[in-house]
A and B are shown apart, each in its own frame.
Chain A
Amino acid sequence: MRIDAFHVTALAIALLGAAVTIFDLIPVNKFYFFAGYVVLQYVVLATAWNIMGGYMGYVNFGTAGFFAVGAYTSVVLYNLMKAPLILMIPVSGAVCALLGLGMGYLTLRLRGVFFAIATLAMAIVLETLIVNWDYVGGATGAYILRSREIAPFGDYVEFLFFVMLVLAIFAVTVARWIERSKMGRGFAAIRDDEVAAECTGVPTLRLKLVATTVSGFLMGVAGAPFVLYVGFVEPSSAFNLVYAVNSIAMPMIGGATTWLGPLIGALLLGTVQQVATVTISSELNLLIVGGLLVFFVIAAPEGIVGLVRKWRGRGR
């Protein structure tokens, strides 16, 4: 991998994030970190979704399933051994990577709308399993008591914000690397014409499994700190359809064929939702998503990135 301006910027943002959270450089209301965490979490989810949905054209409706399995893996680890977050993240990622691999195997022959339905069904099956699993609290949910403060960050939410920032940078870096690699070209070929891809010798089966695995890993990683963030997790919140809808809407609005799309979409839509939650009502979120989605599908089917490219093209 070549180091370029992107990596320097990413590192700078991570360091800046560390400085801000450790030294309280910007004296802001703690709520901003609380809200920022959610936005960054959507950066990870949207980027993860986009690896399959945007690059390869396979629409996954089961984001909430992966996210929740990531969150509940943390619960299991906590119940088993009071595991620290640093352990929860990779294990949740690994569990969801396996889940992604399994889903890939089971849905290999499904395309288009059938694949989407299968992924949605998978999320529902998983939710039913969790609801009936007492060890993780079943339908009533599970608590994790986190400490209020953690060195050197001080406030625990600031720490979680920083963790999610690092995860977001990691996810975007992985997505960008995939996009530019030979693998990314193979994904694009599958999206354009899967049969033709197969005939030219593109290992479509292997690539699909890689995509479901990587995408699952990143979604699981996004879910891992969730329990510590809210302190309490129950199936209906972890498996909330909002995760699935948002992780589809964000790349669509930003532009699904490039890593920049889900990043822009998540930052924009995530922020709008957070602002709306505070100023108007939390129920309005989905309406905003729906409205924006309709607008973008009509006005800018290739998202913001596509729109900017078009304007630039005209300028020349």
Chain B
Amino acid sequence: MSRIVVVDIEAGYGSVRVLHGVSVQVDSGETVALLGTNGNGKSTLINCIMGIVEPTAGSITLETDDGESIDLVGRTPQEIVELGISLVPEGRRLFPLLTVEENLMLGAYRKSARQRIAANLEFSFEAFPVLGERRRQLAGSMSGGEQQMLAIARALMSEPRVLLVDEPSVGLAPILVSRVIAKIRELKAERNLTVLMAEQNFNQAIKIADRGYIIVHGDIAFSASSAAELSENEMVKQYYLGV
């Protein structure tokens, strides 16, 4: 278990600034929702933590239980996976021409997880029986919901301590969104995960979040210390929940 502390990061693409000093903290064992509509910087923040986008200012630190503080800025995604952080990317980003099983095996590159590939595969197929039935099928030929399940299972193959989930609801039918969200909650408990989930589907995200941040135009507009506080906030009600 470990926690992630993001302090005042700024980031962008080329001359476009997306994040203007964002601070976020995800404590050990929490599920934190990162909420906001399209284009406000949720994915950029997730990508900064994962090492895909390098922030131009600010710090991102992983604090482990042994009291170690590891600076994540400037590290490659592989190093970050090695440290026990794993990403379920937006739009799933599976390897469409590889089979379900091959996709899962590719999630197990982390050194510490290599010995337990068989056990972790077993776990994936137990958690998502549909993946077990289709282990030899090409990932690209599955339905959106199944692909999302596979993306989550693949991320868990590296036995992460922290799971970053970027917009799991994208492109899924509402019933599947509920199922995916419920599954994340279930897996979180089962594997003692710390979860940071970016989502624009407020109703769904609030169901499993312990806390949440609302990100607007690259700034944290509101930080809620409980799910209740999030759903009762006037701004949230007005703009995002439509009540």
Contacts and interface: CB of A to CB of B under 8 A. Distances in A.
Contacts of A203: 78, 109
Nearest to B107: A200
B98 A192 contact: yes
Interface string A174-186: 0000000010011
Contacts, number: 71
Given A188-B102, A201-B82, A205-B76, A195 B93 contact: yes
Interface in B105-154: 105-107, 109-110, 154
A197 B96 CA distance: 12
A240 interface: no
B94 interface: yes
A198 B52 contact: yes
Contact of A188 (B77, B94, B97, B158): B97
B55 interface: no
Nearest to B92: A196
Contact of B106 (A189, A205, A257): A189
Given A185-B102, A189-B106, A199 B81 contact: yes
B218 interface: no
B81 A195 contact: no
A198 B95 contact: no
A4 interface: no
Of A191, A196, A202, most B-chain CB atoms within 10 Å: A196
B78 A196 contact: no
Contact of A202 (B52, B97, B106): B106
A193 B93 contact: yes
A282 B78 CA distance: 50
A196 B109 contact: no
Contacts of A199: 50, 52, 77, 81, 87, 89, 93
Interface string B63-86: 000000000000011100110001
A205 B158 CA distance: 19
Interface in A196-244: 196-205
Nearest to A182: B105
Contacts of A257: 97
Interface in B162-214: none
Nearest to B157: A200
B93 A196 contact: yes
A202 B76 CA distance: 11
B240 to A, nearest CB: 28
Interface in A147-199: 182, 185-186, 188-189, 191-193, 195-199
Nearest to A193: B93
Question: Which of A191, A197, A200, A257 has the most CB atoms of chain B within a 10 A radius of its CB?
Answer: A200
Given A192-B97, A192-B98, A193-B93, A198 B78 contact: yes
Nearest to A191: B97
Given A193-B94, A205-B76, A200 B155 contact: yes
A196 B105 contact: no
A240 to B, nearest CB: 33
Contacts of A192: 94-98
A198 B77 contact: yes
Contacts of B95: 188-189, 192-193, 196-197
A91 to B, nearest CB: 34
Contacts of A193: 93-96
Interface-centre pick from A182, A188, A193, A197 (highest chain B CB count, 10 A): A193
Nearest to B98: A188
B115 to A, nearest CB: 14
Contacts of A195: 52, 89, 93
B109 A201 contact: yes
B154 A200 contact: yes
B81 A196 contact: no
Contact of A201 (B94, B96, B97, B110): B110
B89 to A, nearest CB: 6
Given A196-B95, A198-B76, 15 more contacts: A186-B109, A189-B106, A193-B93, A193-B95, A195-B52, A195-B93, A196-B93, A196-B94, A199-B93, A200-B158, A201-B78, A201-B82, A201-B110, A203-B78, A203-B109
Interface of B: 50, 52, 76-78, 81-82, 86-87, 89, 93-98, 102, 105-107, 109-110, 154-155, 157-158
30 contacts: A182-B105, A185-B105, A185-B106, A188-B97, A189-B95, A189-B106, A191-B97, A192-B94, A192-B96, A192-B97, A193-B95, A195-B52, A196-B94, A197-B95, A198-B52, A198-B76, A199-B77, A199-B81, A199-B87, A200-B86, A200-B106, A200-B155, A200-B158, A201-B77, A201-B78, A201-B82, A201-B86, A201-B109, A202-B106, A203-B78
